[in-house]
Chain A
Protein backbone atom coordinates (compact mmCIF):
# COMPACT_ATOMS: atom_id res chain seq x y z
CA UNK A 1 0.00 0.00 0.00
CA UNK A 2 1.10 3.51 -0.67
CA UNK A 3 2.24 5.84 2.03
CA UNK A 4 4.31 3.34 3.92
CA UNK A 5 6.28 6.35 5.08
CA UNK A 6 3.46 7.73 7.18
CA UNK A 7 3.09 5.45 10.17
CA UNK A 8 -0.08 3.42 9.84
CA UNK A 9 -2.35 5.73 7.95
CA UNK A 10 -4.69 3.71 5.82
CA UNK A 11 -5.84 5.07 2.52
CA UNK A 12 -8.89 4.02 0.65
CA UNK A 13 -10.15 4.83 -2.79
CA UNK A 14 -13.86 4.26 -3.18
CA UNK A 15 -15.85 4.56 -6.36
CA UNK A 16 -19.40 5.67 -5.62
CA UNK A 17 -22.11 5.94 -8.26
CA UNK A 18 -24.74 8.65 -8.29
CA UNK A 19 -27.73 7.56 -10.33
CA UNK A 20 -31.32 8.55 -10.91
CA UNK A 21 -33.56 10.21 -13.47
CA UNK A 22 -32.65 13.30 -15.41
CA UNK A 23 -32.96 16.52 -13.43
CA UNK A 24 -33.28 15.05 -9.95
CA UNK A 25 -30.19 16.91 -8.82
CA UNK A 26 -27.41 14.33 -9.08
CA UNK A 27 -24.88 16.84 -10.29
CA UNK A 28 -26.03 19.42 -7.75
CA UNK A 29 -25.56 16.98 -4.90
CA UNK A 30 -22.07 16.16 -6.08
CA UNK A 31 -21.21 19.82 -6.49
CA UNK A 32 -22.58 20.62 -3.06
CA UNK A 33 -20.77 17.77 -1.40
CA UNK A 34 -17.47 18.06 -3.17
CA UNK A 35 -17.21 21.69 -4.11
CA UNK A 36 -19.48 23.32 -1.53
CA UNK A 37 -21.28 25.00 -4.38
CA UNK A 38 -24.80 25.21 -5.54
CA UNK A 39 -26.06 26.78 -8.70
CA UNK A 40 -29.65 27.28 -9.73
CA UNK A 41 -28.59 26.89 -13.29
CA UNK A 42 -28.36 23.35 -14.33
CA UNK A 43 -25.61 22.69 -16.75
CA UNK A 44 -24.88 19.27 -18.09
CA UNK A 45 -21.41 18.33 -17.03
CA UNK A 46 -19.19 18.01 -20.03
CA UNK A 47 -15.84 16.34 -19.88
CA UNK A 48 -15.80 15.34 -16.23
CA UNK A 49 -16.01 11.70 -15.27
CA UNK A 50 -16.20 12.00 -11.55
CA UNK A 51 -15.56 14.38 -8.72
CA UNK A 52 -13.02 13.52 -6.08
CA UNK A 53 -13.63 14.19 -2.41
CA UNK A 54 -10.83 13.61 0.04
CA UNK A 55 -12.04 12.82 3.56
CA UNK A 56 -9.85 12.66 6.63
CA UNK A 57 -12.05 10.00 8.13
CA UNK A 58 -10.09 9.71 11.35
CA UNK A 59 -6.50 10.11 12.42
CA UNK A 60 -5.58 6.83 10.80
CA UNK A 61 -7.85 6.76 7.78
CA UNK A 62 -7.90 8.77 4.60
CA UNK A 63 -10.74 8.16 2.19
CA UNK A 64 -10.71 9.29 -1.40
CA UNK A 65 -14.22 9.22 -2.71
CA UNK A 66 -14.75 9.21 -6.45
CA UNK A 67 -18.31 10.29 -7.16
CA UNK A 68 -19.33 9.12 -10.62
CA UNK A 69 -22.14 11.07 -12.17
CA UNK A 70 -23.94 9.41 -15.02
CA UNK A 71 -23.13 11.54 -17.95
CA UNK A 72 -26.55 13.14 -18.54
CA UNK A 73 -25.98 11.74 -21.98
CA UNK A 74 -26.38 8.21 -20.75
CA UNK A 75 -29.85 9.14 -19.64
CA UNK A 76 -31.49 6.50 -21.73
CA UNK A 77 -30.29 4.05 -19.16
CA UNK A 78 -27.54 2.44 -21.15
CA UNK A 79 -24.50 2.95 -19.04
CA UNK A 80 -21.33 1.24 -20.10
CA UNK A 81 -19.72 -1.31 -17.85
CA UNK A 82 -16.95 1.18 -17.37
CA UNK A 83 -19.37 3.22 -15.31
CA UNK A 84 -20.39 0.40 -13.00
CA UNK A 85 -17.27 -1.63 -12.63
CA UNK A 86 -15.56 -1.78 -9.29
CA UNK A 87 -18.02 0.60 -7.68
CA UNK A 88 -18.36 -0.04 -3.95
CA UNK A 89 -21.35 2.12 -3.16
CA UNK A 90 -24.17 4.10 -4.73
CA UNK A 91 -26.62 6.90 -4.19
CA UNK A 92 -29.92 6.63 -5.98
CA UNK A 93 -31.49 10.06 -6.20
CA UNK A 94 -35.08 11.13 -6.84
CA UNK A 95 -36.85 14.45 -6.77
CA UNK A 96 -39.53 14.74 -4.08
CA UNK A 97 -41.48 17.17 -6.21
CA UNK A 98 -41.81 14.74 -9.10
CA UNK A 99 -43.44 11.43 -8.30
CA UNK A 100 -42.32 9.84 -11.57
CA UNK A 101 -38.69 10.09 -10.49
CA UNK A 102 -39.52 8.06 -7.39
CA UNK A 103 -41.28 5.45 -9.50
CA UNK A 104 -38.06 5.00 -11.43
CA UNK A 105 -36.04 4.33 -8.26
CA UNK A 106 -36.68 0.59 -8.19
CA UNK A 107 -35.74 0.32 -11.87
CA UNK A 108 -32.45 2.05 -11.17
CA UNK A 109 -31.84 -0.09 -8.12
CA UNK A 110 -32.55 -3.24 -10.06
CA UNK A 111 -30.27 -2.15 -12.88
CA UNK A 112 -27.56 -1.36 -10.36
CA UNK A 113 -27.78 -4.72 -8.62
CA UNK A 114 -27.76 -6.60 -11.88
CA UNK A 115 -24.63 -4.87 -13.12
CA UNK A 116 -22.33 -4.61 -10.15
CA UNK A 117 -21.72 -6.72 -7.10
CA UNK A 118 -19.21 -6.86 -4.30
CA UNK A 119 -16.51 -9.48 -4.51
CA UNK A 120 -18.57 -11.71 -2.23
CA UNK A 121 -21.54 -11.52 -4.58
CA UNK A 122 -23.63 -9.18 -2.41
CA UNK A 123 -25.15 -6.03 -3.83
CA UNK A 124 -23.12 -2.91 -3.24
CA UNK A 125 -24.33 -0.72 -0.36
CA UNK A 126 -26.70 1.93 -1.62
CA UNK A 127 -28.51 4.87 -0.09
CA UNK A 128 -31.67 6.54 -1.34
CA UNK A 129 -31.72 10.33 -1.51
CA UNK A 130 -35.03 12.20 -1.52
CA UNK A 131 -33.65 15.39 -2.99
CA UNK A 132 -35.06 18.90 -3.26
CA UNK A 133 -36.72 18.50 0.13
CA UNK A 134 -36.59 22.30 0.45
CA UNK A 135 -39.31 22.40 -2.19
CA UNK A 136 -41.52 19.79 -0.62
CA UNK A 137 -45.09 21.05 -0.71
CA UNK A 138 -47.12 19.43 2.00
CA UNK A 139 -45.50 18.37 5.21
CA UNK A 140 -46.49 14.79 4.81
CA UNK A 141 -44.77 12.25 6.94
CA UNK A 142 -43.83 9.24 4.92
CA UNK A 143 -41.10 7.98 7.18
CA UNK A 144 -42.62 4.59 7.85
CA UNK A 145 -43.45 4.11 4.19
CA UNK A 146 -39.98 5.07 3.10
CA UNK A 147 -38.31 2.87 5.69
CA UNK A 148 -40.36 0.00 4.44
CA UNK A 149 -39.59 0.77 0.82
CA UNK A 150 -35.86 0.80 1.58
CA UNK A 151 -36.10 -2.53 3.33
CA UNK A 152 -37.93 -4.11 0.42
CA UNK A 153 -35.75 -2.62 -2.27
CA UNK A 154 -32.49 -3.24 -0.47
CA UNK A 155 -31.37 0.26 0.38
CA UNK A 156 -29.37 0.72 3.56
CA UNK A 157 -31.43 3.77 4.35
CA UNK A 158 -32.67 7.05 2.98
CA UNK A 159 -32.12 10.76 3.56
CA UNK A 160 -34.14 13.82 2.72
CA UNK A 161 -31.60 16.06 1.11
CA UNK A 162 -31.36 19.50 -0.37
CA UNK A 163 -28.33 20.38 -2.40
CA UNK A 164 -29.59 23.94 -2.43
CA UNK A 165 -29.89 24.41 1.33
CA UNK A 166 -27.16 21.94 2.11
CA UNK A 167 -29.36 19.60 4.08
CA UNK A 168 -28.20 16.09 4.90
CA UNK A 169 -25.74 15.78 2.02
CA UNK A 170 -22.74 15.27 4.28
CA UNK A 171 -24.73 13.03 6.58
CA UNK A 172 -25.81 10.77 3.74
CA UNK A 173 -22.26 10.52 2.46
CA UNK A 174 -20.93 9.74 5.93
CA UNK A 175 -23.56 7.04 6.34
CA UNK A 176 -22.64 5.43 3.04
CA UNK A 177 -18.91 5.59 3.66
CA UNK A 178 -19.36 3.97 7.08
CA UNK A 179 -21.07 1.08 5.40
CA UNK A 180 -18.48 0.81 2.68
CA UNK A 181 -15.72 0.75 5.27
CA UNK A 182 -17.57 -1.93 7.22
CA UNK A 183 -17.75 -4.04 4.06
CA UNK A 184 -14.15 -3.44 3.37
CA UNK A 185 -12.94 -5.08 6.57
CA UNK A 186 -9.59 -3.40 6.43
CA UNK A 187 -8.60 -4.44 2.96
CA UNK A 188 -6.81 -1.49 1.43
CA UNK A 189 -7.84 -0.72 -2.08
CA UNK A 190 -6.31 -2.82 -4.78
CA UNK A 191 -3.96 -4.68 -2.54
CA UNK A 192 -4.84 -7.82 -4.39
CA UNK A 193 -4.51 -6.23 -7.78
CA UNK A 194 -0.95 -5.10 -7.39
CA UNK A 195 0.31 -6.22 -10.75
CA UNK A 196 -2.37 -4.60 -12.81
CA UNK A 197 -1.08 -2.02 -15.20
CA UNK A 198 -2.42 1.46 -15.76
CA UNK A 199 -1.46 3.24 -18.93
CA UNK A 200 -0.96 6.88 -18.10
CA UNK A 201 0.23 10.08 -19.58
CA UNK A 202 2.07 11.67 -16.73
CA UNK A 203 4.77 9.44 -15.42
CA UNK A 204 7.77 9.66 -17.67
CA UNK A 205 10.32 7.64 -15.79
CA UNK A 206 11.84 4.26 -16.34
CA UNK A 207 10.51 3.79 -19.84
CA UNK A 208 12.03 0.82 -21.55
CA UNK A 209 15.05 0.60 -19.31
CA UNK A 210 14.39 -3.06 -19.21
CA UNK A 211 14.54 -3.21 -23.00
CA UNK A 212 15.10 -6.53 -24.51
CA UNK A 213 17.85 -7.14 -26.89
Chain B
Protein backbone atom coordinates (compact mmCIF):
# COMPACT_ATOMS: atom_id res chain seq x y z
CA UNK B 1 0.00 0.00 0.00
CA UNK B 2 1.42 3.30 -1.10
CA UNK B 3 1.35 6.14 1.40
CA UNK B 4 -0.67 9.11 0.28
CA UNK B 5 1.05 12.46 0.26
CA UNK B 6 -2.04 14.27 -0.82
CA UNK B 7 -5.68 13.32 -0.53
CA UNK B 8 -8.21 15.52 -2.28
CA UNK B 9 -11.85 14.85 -1.78
CA UNK B 10 -14.77 16.49 -3.54
CA UNK B 11 -12.96 19.61 -4.74
CA UNK B 12 -15.03 22.38 -6.29
CA UNK B 13 -13.89 25.67 -7.78
CA UNK B 14 -16.69 28.16 -8.36
CA UNK B 15 -16.79 31.54 -10.04
CA UNK B 16 -19.86 33.67 -9.55
CA UNK B 17 -20.71 35.48 -12.80
CA UNK B 18 -23.57 37.59 -14.05
CA UNK B 19 -25.19 34.54 -15.59
CA UNK B 20 -24.95 32.55 -12.37
CA UNK B 21 -22.27 30.47 -10.69
CA UNK B 22 -19.77 28.89 -13.05
CA UNK B 23 -18.23 25.67 -11.76
CA UNK B 24 -14.71 25.33 -13.13
CA UNK B 25 -13.95 22.20 -11.13
CA UNK B 26 -16.81 19.98 -10.03
CA UNK B 27 -16.38 17.42 -7.30
CA UNK B 28 -12.93 16.11 -8.11
CA UNK B 29 -11.35 13.50 -5.82
CA UNK B 30 -7.94 11.94 -6.12
CA UNK B 31 -4.91 10.91 -4.12
CA UNK B 32 -1.25 11.39 -4.84
CA UNK B 33 1.44 9.06 -3.59
CA UNK B 34 5.13 9.14 -4.41
CA UNK B 35 4.28 8.93 -8.08
CA UNK B 36 3.87 10.95 -11.23
CA UNK B 37 0.21 11.76 -11.62
CA UNK B 38 -0.87 13.27 -14.91
CA UNK B 39 -3.95 15.45 -15.32
CA UNK B 40 -4.96 15.84 -18.97
CA UNK B 41 -7.76 17.70 -20.60
CA UNK B 42 -8.48 20.45 -23.07
CA UNK B 43 -8.49 24.13 -22.27
CA UNK B 44 -11.36 24.91 -19.95
CA UNK B 45 -11.49 21.39 -18.56
CA UNK B 46 -10.44 22.65 -15.13
CA UNK B 47 -7.07 20.95 -15.01
CA UNK B 48 -5.08 24.08 -14.19
CA UNK B 49 -7.74 25.21 -11.73
CA UNK B 50 -7.37 21.90 -9.90
CA UNK B 51 -3.63 22.47 -9.54
CA UNK B 52 -4.11 25.98 -8.27
CA UNK B 53 -6.95 25.07 -5.97
CA UNK B 54 -4.72 22.61 -4.10
CA UNK B 55 -2.49 25.53 -3.17
CA UNK B 56 -5.55 27.71 -2.61
CA UNK B 57 -4.25 30.05 -5.28
CA UNK B 58 -7.66 30.86 -6.79
CA UNK B 59 -8.16 34.59 -6.69
CA UNK B 60 -11.42 36.05 -5.48
CA UNK B 61 -14.21 36.14 -6.58
CA UNK B 62 -13.35 32.48 -7.23
CA UNK B 63 -14.22 30.11 -4.39
CA UNK B 64 -12.53 26.81 -3.49
CA UNK B 65 -14.63 24.25 -1.70
CA UNK B 66 -13.62 20.74 -0.71
CA UNK B 67 -14.49 18.09 1.84
CA UNK B 68 -10.76 17.89 2.40
CA UNK B 69 -7.39 18.58 0.84
CA UNK B 70 -5.11 16.60 3.10
CA UNK B 71 -1.37 16.99 2.94
CA UNK B 72 0.02 14.09 4.95
CA UNK B 73 -2.99 14.04 7.20
CA UNK B 74 -3.33 17.79 7.69
CA UNK B 75 -6.28 19.46 6.02
CA UNK B 76 -5.15 22.45 3.98
CA UNK B 77 -8.70 23.79 3.84
CA UNK B 78 -8.58 24.48 7.59
CA UNK B 79 -5.35 26.45 7.38
CA UNK B 80 -5.22 30.21 7.59
CA UNK B 81 -3.83 32.22 4.70
CA UNK B 82 -0.65 32.77 6.71
CA UNK B 83 -0.13 29.06 7.30
CA UNK B 84 -0.80 28.40 3.62
CA UNK B 85 2.10 30.64 2.71
CA UNK B 86 4.38 28.32 4.61
CA UNK B 87 2.96 25.38 2.67
CA UNK B 88 3.38 27.00 -0.73
CA UNK B 89 6.91 26.62 -1.97
CA UNK B 90 8.07 24.95 1.24
CA UNK B 91 6.04 21.76 0.95
CA UNK B 92 4.21 22.06 -2.35
CA UNK B 93 5.87 23.87 -5.26
CA UNK B 94 4.43 24.88 -8.57
CA UNK B 95 6.10 25.28 -11.98
CA UNK B 96 4.14 27.37 -14.46
CA UNK B 97 3.89 27.20 -18.21
CA UNK B 98 6.03 30.08 -19.33
CA UNK B 99 9.23 30.86 -17.42
CA UNK B 100 9.24 34.35 -18.94
CA UNK B 101 6.31 35.36 -16.78
CA UNK B 102 7.49 33.63 -13.64
CA UNK B 103 10.94 35.18 -13.34
CA UNK B 104 11.52 38.78 -12.32
CA UNK B 105 13.07 40.49 -15.37
CA UNK B 106 15.13 43.03 -13.40
CA UNK B 107 16.85 40.67 -10.96
CA UNK B 108 19.70 38.33 -11.80
CA UNK B 109 18.84 34.67 -11.72
CA UNK B 110 21.27 34.11 -8.87
CA UNK B 111 19.59 36.76 -6.71
CA UNK B 112 16.19 35.26 -7.38
CA UNK B 113 17.18 31.74 -6.50
CA UNK B 114 19.00 32.88 -3.40
CA UNK B 115 16.05 34.98 -2.32
CA UNK B 116 13.75 32.01 -2.78
CA UNK B 117 16.07 29.90 -0.69
CA UNK B 118 16.55 32.38 2.12
CA UNK B 119 12.83 33.02 2.31
CA UNK B 120 12.36 29.48 3.48
CA UNK B 121 15.46 28.86 5.56
CA UNK B 122 17.63 31.08 7.70
CA UNK B 123 20.75 30.45 5.67
CA UNK B 124 23.62 32.86 5.30
CA UNK B 125 24.33 34.46 1.96
CA UNK B 126 27.25 32.20 1.17
CA UNK B 127 25.29 29.10 2.09
CA UNK B 128 22.47 30.23 -0.17
CA UNK B 129 24.95 30.84 -2.98
CA UNK B 130 26.46 27.38 -2.64
CA UNK B 131 23.05 25.78 -2.49
CA UNK B 132 21.88 27.69 -5.58
CA UNK B 133 24.91 26.54 -7.56
CA UNK B 134 24.24 23.01 -6.50
CA UNK B 135 20.63 23.25 -7.62
CA UNK B 136 21.52 24.69 -11.00
CA UNK B 137 23.90 21.80 -11.48
CA UNK B 138 21.15 19.42 -10.48
CA UNK B 139 19.01 20.67 -13.37
CA UNK B 140 21.90 20.06 -15.79
CA UNK B 141 22.98 23.65 -16.26
CA UNK B 142 26.56 23.42 -17.35
CA UNK B 143 27.87 26.81 -16.40
CA UNK B 144 26.07 27.70 -13.17
CA UNK B 145 28.29 30.61 -12.10
CA UNK B 146 27.61 32.44 -15.34
CA UNK B 147 23.89 31.69 -15.19
CA UNK B 148 23.75 33.04 -11.63
CA UNK B 149 24.92 36.43 -12.92
CA UNK B 150 22.61 36.44 -15.95
CA UNK B 151 19.22 38.12 -16.30
CA UNK B 152 16.15 36.12 -17.33
CA UNK B 153 15.96 37.66 -20.83
CA UNK B 154 19.40 36.23 -21.60
CA UNK B 155 18.07 32.71 -21.13
CA UNK B 156 16.36 30.52 -23.71
CA UNK B 157 12.97 29.00 -22.92
CA UNK B 158 14.42 25.64 -21.97
CA UNK B 159 17.02 27.20 -19.69
CA UNK B 160 14.40 29.41 -18.08
CA UNK B 161 12.19 26.45 -17.33
CA UNK B 162 15.12 24.53 -15.82
CA UNK B 163 15.89 27.51 -13.63
CA UNK B 164 12.26 27.62 -12.51
CA UNK B 165 12.43 23.96 -11.62
CA UNK B 166 15.68 24.54 -9.73
CA UNK B 167 14.04 27.36 -7.79
CA UNK B 168 11.02 25.29 -6.93
CA UNK B 169 13.14 22.40 -5.71
CA UNK B 170 15.38 24.37 -3.39
CA UNK B 171 13.13 24.18 -0.31
CA UNK B 172 12.89 20.42 -0.94
CA UNK B 173 9.10 20.21 -1.31
CA UNK B 174 7.21 16.96 -0.96
CA UNK B 175 4.97 17.70 -3.92
CA UNK B 176 5.69 19.45 -7.21
CA UNK B 177 2.80 20.69 -9.32
CA UNK B 178 3.89 21.30 -12.91
CA UNK B 179 1.33 23.16 -15.03
CA UNK B 180 2.18 22.61 -18.69
CA UNK B 181 5.87 23.00 -17.90
CA UNK B 182 7.03 22.11 -21.39
CA UNK B 183 4.36 23.36 -23.77
CA UNK B 184 6.25 26.59 -24.47
CA UNK B 185 9.36 24.62 -25.40
CA UNK B 186 10.60 22.93 -28.56
CA UNK B 187 10.29 19.16 -28.75
CA UNK B 188 14.01 18.46 -28.34
CA UNK B 189 14.26 20.70 -25.27
CA UNK B 190 11.02 19.30 -23.93
CA UNK B 191 12.64 15.89 -23.55
CA UNK B 192 15.58 17.25 -21.58
CA UNK B 193 13.38 19.20 -19.16
CA UNK B 194 11.16 16.18 -18.61
CA UNK B 195 14.17 13.94 -17.98
CA UNK B 196 15.46 16.36 -15.37
CA UNK B 197 12.10 16.50 -13.63
CA UNK B 198 11.80 12.75 -13.76
CA UNK B 199 15.22 12.21 -12.24
CA UNK B 200 14.65 14.71 -9.45
CA UNK B 201 11.27 13.30 -8.56
CA UNK B 202 12.68 9.78 -8.39
CA UNK B 203 15.77 10.72 -6.42
CA UNK B 204 13.90 12.72 -3.84
CA UNK B 205 10.82 10.56 -3.63
CA UNK B 206 8.53 13.47 -4.39
CA UNK B 207 4.99 13.36 -5.62
CA UNK B 208 4.46 15.06 -8.99
CA UNK B 209 1.25 16.39 -10.43
CA UNK B 210 1.85 16.92 -14.12
CA UNK B 211 -0.83 19.00 -15.82
CA UNK B 212 -0.83 18.89 -19.61
CA UNK B 213 -3.01 18.93 -22.70
CA UNK B 214 -0.70 16.50 -24.49
CA UNK B 215 -1.94 12.93 -24.16
CA UNK B 216 1.09 11.29 -25.67
CA UNK B 217 3.45 13.17 -23.44
CA UNK B 218 1.50 12.23 -20.33
CA UNK B 219 1.23 8.61 -21.46
CA UNK B 220 5.00 8.53 -21.81
CA UNK B 221 5.95 10.37 -18.70
CA UNK B 222 3.47 9.65 -15.92
CA UNK B 223 2.45 6.64 -13.86
CA UNK B 224 -1.24 7.37 -13.55
CA UNK B 225 -3.50 9.69 -15.52
CA UNK B 226 -6.70 11.56 -14.67
CA UNK B 227 -8.63 12.68 -17.73
CA UNK B 228 -10.71 15.78 -17.09
CA UNK B 229 -13.63 17.13 -19.05
CA UNK B 230 -15.81 20.10 -18.13
CA UNK B 231 -14.48 20.25 -14.57
CA UNK B 232 -14.90 16.53 -13.87
CA UNK B 233 -12.68 13.49 -13.99
CA UNK B 234 -14.18 11.29 -16.68
CA UNK B 235 -11.60 8.52 -16.55
CA UNK B 236 -8.67 7.34 -14.47
CA UNK B 237 -6.16 4.93 -15.90
CA UNK B 238 -2.57 3.79 -15.76
CA UNK B 239 -0.44 5.82 -18.10
CA UNK B 240 0.89 2.88 -20.04
CA UNK B 241 -2.68 1.76 -20.69
CA UNK B 242 -3.85 5.20 -21.83
CA UNK B 243 -4.04 4.05 -25.43
CA UNK B 244 -6.52 1.40 -24.37
CA UNK B 245 -8.68 3.97 -22.58
CA UNK B 246 -12.41 3.26 -22.59
CA UNK B 247 -14.16 6.59 -22.24
CA UNK B 248 -15.36 7.98 -25.56
CA UNK B 249 -13.84 11.37 -24.73
CA UNK B 250 -10.38 9.95 -24.19
CA UNK B 251 -10.76 7.80 -27.29
CA UNK B 252 -11.92 10.82 -29.27
CA UNK B 253 -8.94 12.88 -28.16
CA UNK B 254 -6.52 10.12 -29.07
CA UNK B 255 -8.12 9.58 -32.46
CA UNK B 256 -8.16 13.25 -33.38
CA UNK B 257 -4.35 13.41 -33.35
CA UNK B 258 -2.69 13.17 -36.73
CA UNK B 259 -0.12 10.39 -36.76
CA UNK B 260 2.91 9.92 -38.92
CA UNK B 261 2.79 6.15 -38.80
CA UNK B 262 -0.91 5.90 -39.61
CA UNK B 263 -1.86 8.39 -42.32
CA UNK B 264 -5.54 9.10 -42.79
CA UNK B 265 -7.49 11.08 -45.33
CA UNK B 266 -9.51 12.89 -42.67
CA UNK B 267 -8.99 13.27 -38.99
CA UNK B 268 -11.66 12.00 -36.67
CA UNK B 269 -13.59 14.80 -35.09
CA UNK B 270 -14.57 14.49 -31.46
CA UNK B 271 -18.35 14.24 -31.05
CA UNK B 272 -19.13 15.68 -27.65
CA UNK B 273 -21.86 14.02 -25.67
CA UNK B 274 -23.61 16.38 -23.22
CA UNK B 275 -23.87 13.44 -20.87
CA UNK B 276 -20.11 13.53 -20.24
CA UNK B 277 -20.36 16.79 -18.40
CA UNK B 278 -23.32 15.74 -16.25
CA UNK B 279 -22.11 12.29 -15.29
CA UNK B 280 -20.57 12.25 -11.79
CA UNK B 281 -16.84 12.57 -11.45
CA UNK B 282 -14.79 9.37 -11.36
CA UNK B 283 -12.69 9.14 -8.24
CA UNK B 284 -8.95 9.05 -8.64
CA UNK B 285 -8.35 7.88 -5.07
CA UNK B 286 -6.47 4.79 -4.22
Partners in one complex: no
Contact surface of A with B, Cβ cutoff 8 Å: none
